Amino acid sequence: AMAFIGSNSVIPGYLTALGASAAIVGVVTSLQNASWLLPQLFTARTRAVKPLKKPHILRPAAAGRLLFLVLGLVLWLTRARPAWLMLTLSTIAIIGFWIGDGMASVPWFDLLSKIIPPRRRGRLTSVGQVMSGVLGFAAGCAVEGLLSNQGPAFPNNYVSIFLLGFASLAVSFVATSLIVEPSGAPTEPNPSWSEYLPQLWHVLKNDHAFRRFILARQLFGLSGLATPFYMTYALTQLDLPAQVAGRYTSISVLGSILAAVLMGWLNERSGSKRVILLSIGMAACVPVLAMVLPWVLSPGPALAWGYGLVFFAMSATMSSMMP
């Protein structure tokens, strides 16, 4: 699904096609990250004490996933006119999806910890990423075909992409609903905000290793500020064709597959810290490649293919997050 609606390639290309400036693309992408992360703070307060996690995954997930069906239908009916209205509605749908996914993520990780032993989680996530990566590679090829000159005209090309993304999300929703969840501990009362916020501060104040990890994680996350601009730069400054969004999606998937295998093996062999250090090194390669490749590769097919290394490294970095 994320190969069809990827925030690093397809969504920036779609917003650019609607006439969005680089600043707007950057704001929307930043809002995606905030919309996924901030709801987790509130969800953790009310969902952590629930004995069953699955219902609290499915409800927000269903609401968020339906928005891409709505977006595809609205785009088809309006023919992307007027562009400013479609840009506004698209932003609302994209942000709404990530809010729903963020709310579902906290109970999802709780569910994962209930049903999968710690030593098997790295293997599980790696195998899952490889399997989804193979499908994502095929999806990237489909996206390239839909965005090529031989594909449907705008906006039908993006209508097709969003509907395919929704169909994939629907399959994932059904798969999650089929998980058999064991019963948990008895329900405890939700802590009030006056109790909850001091608890968060207490953890940050007294757990020194966790505090250092959070600080490093936030510094690491700042590299994501540049993420949407790699695609915008390719389309507007390097004059690469719109169809490279699909190609770079496939290349990204290849990077995630190879990194998932490596990270899963390294996680079980040497622990998570080695995975973190390696992922930081790969993240540092992304902006370096984006700056160097246009200098060393001639414009045309060589640059159109070579610039994919940026997305390969970016996706490899992101695939390390689960392990």
For 14-38, write each residue's pLDDT tens digit: 998 898 888 888 888 778 878 888 8
250 CB neighbour count, 10 Å cutoff? 23
Residue 79 CB partners (closer than 8 Å, separation 6+): 155
Helix (H) or strand (E) holding 100: helix 83-115
Q: What is the largest CA-CA distance in the chain?
A: 64
Better-scored residue on pLDDT, 43 or 211 = 211
- The residue-averaged pLDDT of 206-234 equals 85
Residue 187 has pLDDT above 70, yes or no: no
How many residues can be counted in the chain? 323
Please tell me the predicted confidence (pLDDT) of residue 244: 85
How does pLDDT run across 65-121, given as a tens digit for each residue? 999 999 999 999 999 999 899 999 999 999 999 999 999 998 888 888 888 887 777
Please tell me the predicted confidence (pLDDT) of residue 174: 95
Residue 186 has pLDDT above 60, yes or no: no
Per DSSP, helices labelled H in 148-207 are: 156-177, 193-206
Helix (H, G, I), strand (E, B) or coil at 209: helix
How does pLDDT run across 238-285, given as a tens digit for each residue? 888 888 888 888 888 888 888 888 887 888 788 888 888 888 898 999
Instruction: Give the residue from 21, 159, 27 showing the smallest Cα distance to 95.
Output: 27
Instruction: Give the residue from 165, 207, 191, 198 showing the smallest Cα distance to 75.
Output: 165
Please tell me the predicted confidence (pLDDT) of residue 69: 95
Per DSSP, helices labelled H in 193-243 are: 193-206, 208-221, 227-236
What is the spatial distance between Cα 10 and Cα 4, in angstroms, rounded to a whole number?
A: 7
Residue 43 CA to its chain's centroid (Å): 19
Name the one residue in this structure whose structure tokens are 């008895």: 186
Among 167-181, 183-197, 198-212, name the one with the lowest average pLDDT: 183-197
**To the nearest whole number, what is the mean pLDDT of the chain?**
86
- Considering the entire predicted model, what is its pTM? 0.70
Please tell me the predicted confidence (pLDDT) of residue 292: 94
What is the spatial distance between Cα 235 and Cα 294, in angstroms, rounded to a whole number?
A: 13
Name the one residue in this structure whose structure tokens are 């993304």: 165
% of the chain surpassing 70 pLDDT: 97
